[in-house]
């Protein structure tokens, strides 16, 4: 969204001079700010916006505590859930910039995760803020989307204590008001309270508007308007300069709508011809500034006219402190537009066309397209959408592009090859396959007329229209790229490669962006097929192309894929260089980092975790989190959870690891990249070590995994996990058949991984083979497999791949040391099995010592944090905290928190627990 429009939507209106103090409402507003929801609900013209602006902006009703306030002015375009929540989060960030950045990235992604999940992470982040925040949603009655209402109900139900929501609306919002009312969590201000009292009406009419009305006149007007503020304001404007105020007051009656129409007509009739024309013709605009008004009305003086209307208090609302942008009071605007349609219906479309032209010249494509649509000028709309397409693709706004194109008639699109191709790309980017083929054929029709090759005969009386000649020139290659993407989504890697190679043949040598996209698709297809050599080569070329094109953000995305491939190939050092090289090309300052920078730190963390540098691995995740709170948020947020889960696993906190993997699964959003390490498979591995073998076996059964099934690279990680489950089942049941099944499966997997040059997989499979042979009692054969694994792993610095296997691997490595197999490397590995002195439980003086994680929980039990805060501190679920607490009570022989802390002090355990672990505050 253009910055001026965003600024006006988030602008907190400033209180005007001469406002009437309303102390009777001040207390109610302050009380509402302490509740979950303050609802200000009344028909149009009751001063809802003005009252809240006074209260929060320093007017006579303003609170004394100076609480932070965010403001969002809604319009009908915000019924799109992504748009609504994007603006709401942005409004919150005006007063709490430390929250919401990662949520904005999720909302901007082509396929956002469920809104409830995004809100959960947002609410957890807001719960950590240190000050009270008031968020005002103005004009909520314009929202009628059920999806927004449902998510709002969830938000309200889970608001943290220091966030208070204010809704201003002409109708009650579709949220559970009755439940909130019953809980005492709702404060309401309605029309009866908003109406001016006789004293307030007198203060406004005589004090603010300068009318010398008698008490009888004021009482009569207040009675006829029933204190309705808009009617009083219109009446005051109409009476200025009149000598017969009493006669005027006696001359009108009727319900609200008639009063408004009558008084608005009175106001309009009393304006000069130029002012009246200006008001009517500019009423088509949602926001106004001088140059825009000049173009729309076809004359100069717009800025001066707006300033004059502002000084005259003629229902003009400033949208910024510089008095550059304004809007009309909604009620007044409704009347103006109705009058315009009645008096000059033939002008309306022309006014919208001129507004569209001004916005287009100022590169505000969204508003330009909206006005073109309002003018029902679909040809112009199509022209503008075509011109806006490069910007929408660059900004990853494919869903917006798709929305525009869906509003255009099909017959018009058939003659617009650039738009047809763009439509296909927008569908693919938002995860939709249906319709892609049809739009690609429409585009190809104009490239290969009459199109018989694709079965697309020429439509009668259809002419080709092209606005962006450069895009049309690139159309053949663009269509080929989208055909490659379609083939990839349909699971046809060979067709993907064929179309991508055709695109490369069509692209000019200096089209680095196009070449990068085509080679990336070749890399993805090869990666999904298990051909990592070709995938590596393609992604290396893609990165070089993106760097030459200056698209560093796309380069970061390519770096994630390339490093993943290198890790599977066992080239950990190259993966490290890939991440570090990408980071050197990006700004590192918080607030200026590119999207995807945080992913580089997550990747580096995983590599340092494999080297057993858990402290540095944590610090890198901290850095990722810092960037993720601003512009460099992760493209794949689930990866952060997986990386932290694996650190927890290495520390022995299996429950915490499983919690994070559960979270990662909920955050996972698929894309074109193959999902070669599914989160459920990672969780199954943790279950096996936890002793939840049946859960792991059920997972394998649900995935239709078997020892004799067809092997593929895409399912290799899952099959290795199945082998682990079979080994664990043998240890539990002592059924030799399970050991045989595991051995046979591992042998087949080893052959496949060797053939695919997947050295990373080979190392893990060899490790499991060695453990399998040890279970058989064949230590010499086990050492043969282990020796090969060590030879492959040592140059790359593998550690956790061995250490995570625990005592059985330590015993095998000890045997390897005795036989002088890789003595220096094996010696280093054996030292990593030792437990740090400060975490050894033997000195605790307990029969059943506390684990390191239980000591951390114990430390926090000695603080004033509650259960949810402790869970947030340790990045685990509340249930996990309760389990640890229950274990602590049992081991200490106590039954409550205070007794646990006292017993721990007696045993000098608090000093052992006092070392604060290096935690990362999670925003979930």
pLDDT digits (tens, 9 = 90+) for 842-865: 344 555 677 767 787 888 888 777
pTM, full prediction: 0.62
Least Cα distance to 121 among 585, 634, 813 occurs for: 634
Least Cα distance to 162 among 72, 67, 28 occurs for: 67
pLDDT score recorded for residue 256: 43
CB-based contact 703:725 (threshold 8 Å)? no
Cα–Cα distances (Å) from 800 to 125, 649, 651, 719, 833, in that order, read 32, 10, 11, 20, 10
Residue 244: φ, ψ to 5°: -110, 60
pLDDT score recorded for residue 692: 94
pLDDT score recorded for residue 865: 79
The residue behind tokens 């585009």 is: 443
Whether the bond between 250 and the residue before it is cis, its omega within 30 degrees of 0, is no
pLDDT score recorded for residue 461: 53
CB-based contact 372:306 (threshold 8 Å)? no
pLDDT score recorded for residue 632: 41
Residues 362, 363, 369: CA angle, nearest 5 degrees? 105
Question: Tens digits of per-residue pLDDT, 683-696?
Answer: 999 999 999 999 99
CB-based contact 679:656 (threshold 8 Å)? no
Angle between helix 552-568 and 512-529 (nearest 10) = 20
pLDDT score recorded for residue 460: 47
Spell out, as residue ranges, where the chain has pLDDT lower than 50.
59-64, 253-256, 450-460, 589-592, 629-632, 835-844, 911-924
CB-based contact 278:293 (threshold 8 Å)? yes
Q: How far is CA 731 from the centre of its chain?
A: 44
pLDDT score recorded for residue 536: 94
Residues 62, 66, 71: CA angle, nearest 5 degrees? 75
Rounded to whole angstroms, how far apart are CA atoms 15 and 36? 25
């Amino acid at each position: 969204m253009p910055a001026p429009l965003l600024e006006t939507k988030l602008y907190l209106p400033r209180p005007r001079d001469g406002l009437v103090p309303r102390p009777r409402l001040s207390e109610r507003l302050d009380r509402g700010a302490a509740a979950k929801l303050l609802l200000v609900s009344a028909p149009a013209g009751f001063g809802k916006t003005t009252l809240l602006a006074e209260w929060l902006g320093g007017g006579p009703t303003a609170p004394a505590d100076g609480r932070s306030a965010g403001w969002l002015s809604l319009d009908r375009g915000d019924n799109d859930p992504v748009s609504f929540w994007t603006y709401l989060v942005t409004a919150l960030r005006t007063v709490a910039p430390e929250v919401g950045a990662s949520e904005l990235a999720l909302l901007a992604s082509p396929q956002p995760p469920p809104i409830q999940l995004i809100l959960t992470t947002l609410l957890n982040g807001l719960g950590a803020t240190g000050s009270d925040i008031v968020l005002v949603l103005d004009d909520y009655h314009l929202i009628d989307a059920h999806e927004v209402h449902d998510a709002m109900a969830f938000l309200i139900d889970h608001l943290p204590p220091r966030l208070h929501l204010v809704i201003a609306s002409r109708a009650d919002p579709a949220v559970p008001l009755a439940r909130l009312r019953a809980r005492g969590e709702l404060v309401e201000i309605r029309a009866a309270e908003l109406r001016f009292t006789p004293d307030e009406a007198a203060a406004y009419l005589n004090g603010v508007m300068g009318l010398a009305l008698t008490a009888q006149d004021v009482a009569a007007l207040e009675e006829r308007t029933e204190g309705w503020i808009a009617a009083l304001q219109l009446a005051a404007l109409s009476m200025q300069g009149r000598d017969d105020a009493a006669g005027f007051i006696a001359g009108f009656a009727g319900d609200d709508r008639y009063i408004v129409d009558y008084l608005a007509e009175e106001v309009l009739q009393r304006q000069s011809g130029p002012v009246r024309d200006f008001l009517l013709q500019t009423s088509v605009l949602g926001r106004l500034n001088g140059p825009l008004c000049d173009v729309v009305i076809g004359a100069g003086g717009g800025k001066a006219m707006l300033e004059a209307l502002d000084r005259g208090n003629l229902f003009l609302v400033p949208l910024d402190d510089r008095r550059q942008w304004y809007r009309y009071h909604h009620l007044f605007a409704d009347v103006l537009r109705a009058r315009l349609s009645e008096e000059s219906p033939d002008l309306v479309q022309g006014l919208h066309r001129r507004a569209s032209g001004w916005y287009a010249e100022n590169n505000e494509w969204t508003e330009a397209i909206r006005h073109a649509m309002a003018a029902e000028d679909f040809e112009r709309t199509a022209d503008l959408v075509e011109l806006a397409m490069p910007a929408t693709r660059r900004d990853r706004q494919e869903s917006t592009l798709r929305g525009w194109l869906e509003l255009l008639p099909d017959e018009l699109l058939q003659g617009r090859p650039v738009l047809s191709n763009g439509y296909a790309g927008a569908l693919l980017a938002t995860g939709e396959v249906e319709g892609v083929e049809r739009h690609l054929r429409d585009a190809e029709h104009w490239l290969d007329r009459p199109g018989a090759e694709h079965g697309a005969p020429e439509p009668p009386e259809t002419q080709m229209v092209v606005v962006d000649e450069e895009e049309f020139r690139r159309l053949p290659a663009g269509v080929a790229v989208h055909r490659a993407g379609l083939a990839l989504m349909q699971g046809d890697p060979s067709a993907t490669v064929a179309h991508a190679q055709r695109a490369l043949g069509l692209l000019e040598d200096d089209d680095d962006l196009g070449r990068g996209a085509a080679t990336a698709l070749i890399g993805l297809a090869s990666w999904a097929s298990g051909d990592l050599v070709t995938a590596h080569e393609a992604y290396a070329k893609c990165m070089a192309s993106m760097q030459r094109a200056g698209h560093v953000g796309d380069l970061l995305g390519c770096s994630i894929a390339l490093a993943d491939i290198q890790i599977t190939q066992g080239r950990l050092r190259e993966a490290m260089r890939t991440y570090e090289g990408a980071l050197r090309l990006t700004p590192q300052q918080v607030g200026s980092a590119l999207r995807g920078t945080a992913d580089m730190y997550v990747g580096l963390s995983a590599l340092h975790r494999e080297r057993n540098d858990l402290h540095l691995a944590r610090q890198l995740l901290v850095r990722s989190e810092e960037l993720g709170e601003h512009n460099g948020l992760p493209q794949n947020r689930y990866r952060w959870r997986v990386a932290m889960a694996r650190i927890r696993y290495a520390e022995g906190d299996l429950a915490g690891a499983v919690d994070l993997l559960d979270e990662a699964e909920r955050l996972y959003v698929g894309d074109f990249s193959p999902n070669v390490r599914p989160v459920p498979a990672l969780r199954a591995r943790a279950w096996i070590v936890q002793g939840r073998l049946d859960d792991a076996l059920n997972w394998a059964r649900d995935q239709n995994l078997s020892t004799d099934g067809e092997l593929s690279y895409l399912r290799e990680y899952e099959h290795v996990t199945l082998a682990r489950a079979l080994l664990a089942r043998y240890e539990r049941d002592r059924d030799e058949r399970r050991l045989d099944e595991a051995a046979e499966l591992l042998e087949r997997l080893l052959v496949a991984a060797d053939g695919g040059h997947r050295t990373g997989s080979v190392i893990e499979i060899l490790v499991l083979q060695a453990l399998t042979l040890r279970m058989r009692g064949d230590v010499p054969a086990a050492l043969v497999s282990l020796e090969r694994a060590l030879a492959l792993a040592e140059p790359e610095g593998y550690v956790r791949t061995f250490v995570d296997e625990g005592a059985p691997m330590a015993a095998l490595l000890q045997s390897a040391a005795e036989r002088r197999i890789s003595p220096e490397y094996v010696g280093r590995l054996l030292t990593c099995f030792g437990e740090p002195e400060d975490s050894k439980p033997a000195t605790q003086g307990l029969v059943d010592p506390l684990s390191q994680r239980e000591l951390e929980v114990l430390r926090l039990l000695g603080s004033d944090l509650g259960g949810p805060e402790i869970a947030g501190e340790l990045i685990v679920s509340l249930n996990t905290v309760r389990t640890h607490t229950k274990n602590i009570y049992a081991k200490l022989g106590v039954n409550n928190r205070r007794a646990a802390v006292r017993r721990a002090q007696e045993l000098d355990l608090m000093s052992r627990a006092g070392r604060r672990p290096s935690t990362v505050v999670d925003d979930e």
